[in-house]
Amino acid sequence: MTESLQSIIAEIHQAPHRLALAITGGGSAAISRLLGVPGASRTVLEAIVPYHPQSLAEYLGGDPDQACSAKTARAMAMAAFQRARRLDKETDQRFLLGLGATAALSTDRDRRGENRVFVSVQSLASTREASLVLAGGRTRAEEEALAATLIVDLLAEACGLPADLLLSQNSQDEFHEHVTAGKPEWQALLAGQILSTAVATQPPQALFPGAFNPLHDGHRTMIRLARDLLDCPVSLEISAFNVDKPPLDYFDMAHREAVVGGEYPLVFTHAPTFVEKSALFPGIPFVVGVDTIKRIAQPRYYEDSELKCLRAIETIAERGNSFLVFGRRNDEVFETLDDLELPAPLRAICQGVEEAMFRHDISSSELRGS
């Protein structure tokens, strides 16, 4: 370990921040370097290496689209940040950090793509990310050392420390860094201080929940028709928190707001289920597709309990909510509300949109894959 690296790690340990980190694919030497400098117990809450694909999938709550990417590093950082919040309930949340890093380095097997490292640090204030595409001519050990240095470098920056440890970087390397600050209401949502970014004096009159990744013409048509059928404005809702997955980071929230919020009113919530949505927004209609309404009626989403499923539906109905249901193509067949067998209490609060009024056969997942 170089003297400059040891010195900056010592400063990290003197800072008030506490950290959970997860590293895969390369750069795990950063863990031993952090632990090798006195004072690590003041900083490191947890350090894991989810190296096997299944281990990484369990850490993230599902298979990432790509193991080595900026998006995966950010998801790992957010998962680590949530771990830090659970492990340390005494430290002010402003000083908790989650770090995620994923790398694809030189190997003895065939692998497509460049050697690269992605690192992200999530805090209550910001989502910080850096990428380094490595030029050739280094050994695996040298690449590992550089990846570890980048991890420590980004961690130091997140702690508010001046860090410039990548002086050994080859001029042919490609380095990028970006920081997305969280808006005050996003920070309050992530901290659990609020459950919705909706303005209390202007609550939504109708809500269209979804990921909107991306927002496409089918969504736009649904919104236009819903406005006409419900005779009220429609707001879009994105739950920043989802069951068994890390919350959305600020980069994702800023991107969704730029794309979606530029066209329609947008609300971020901590309400992954419709029971939770109905508690936040009682008495209003939800705009959904047939796939969503089918899931609401399936006991497997309620711990395989038909009783819990029925009780959830009854709760939504008791709160005065209803569903405007649009059709969707499934297995080459376009399904509408009339094609479904639903529990009577759920069917009673559903209004269907006929295929003659709406048909759109391209989904967000298909657009992402194209």
332 in a structural domain: yes
Could you give the CA distance from residue 81 to residue 72 in angstroms, rounded to a whole number? 14
Question: Residue 39: which CATH number?
Answer: 3.90.950.20
Q: Are residues 136 and 17 in the same domain?
A: yes
pTM score: 0.91
Q: Are residues 151 and 237 in the same domain?
A: no
60 in a structural domain: yes
State whether residue 263 is helix, strand or coil.
Answer: coil
271 in a structural domain: yes
Could you give the CA distance from residue 350 to residue 301 in angstroms, rounded to a whole number? 19
Which residues have CB under 8 Å from 172's CB, separation 6+? 135
Condensed to tens digits (0 to 9), the pLDDT of residues 207-229 reads: 999 999 899 999 999 999 999 99
Condensed to tens digits (0 to 9), the pLDDT of residues 113-161 reads: 799 999 999 999 999 999 999 988 889 999 999 999 999 999 999 999 9
Q: Are residues 175 and 236 in the same domain?
A: no
Q: Considering 181, 203, 227, which residue would you say is the last residue of a domain?
A: 181
Q: Could you tell me what percentage of the chain is helix, strand and coil, using 3-state DSSP and rounding each to the nearest 5?
A: 40, 20, 40
Q: Considering 148, 181, 214, which residue would you say is the last residue of a domain?
A: 181
Condensed to tens digits (0 to 9), the pLDDT of residues 298-346 reads: 999 999 999 999 999 999 999 999 999 999 888 778 899 999 999 999 9
Q: Considering 149, 181, 213, which residue would you say is the last residue of a domain?
A: 181
Question: How many residues are recorded in the chain?
Answer: 370
Structural domain harbouring 331? 193-369
Domain count, the chain: 2
Q: How far is CA 363 from the centre of its chain?
A: 20
302 in a structural domain: yes
Assess whether pLDDT exceeds 80 at residue 360.
Answer: no
The pLDDT-based confidence of 172 (bands split at 50, 70, 90) is confident
186 in a structural domain: no
Could you give the CA distance from residue 246 to residue 85 in angstroms, rounded to a whole number? 13
187 in a structural domain: no
pLDDT at residue 368 in the model: 46
263 in a structural domain: yes
Could you give the CA distance from residue 299 to residue 313 in angstroms, rounded to a whole number? 11
R_g (Cα) of the chain, nearest Å: 23
Residue 101's beta-bridge partner residues?
A: 23, 119
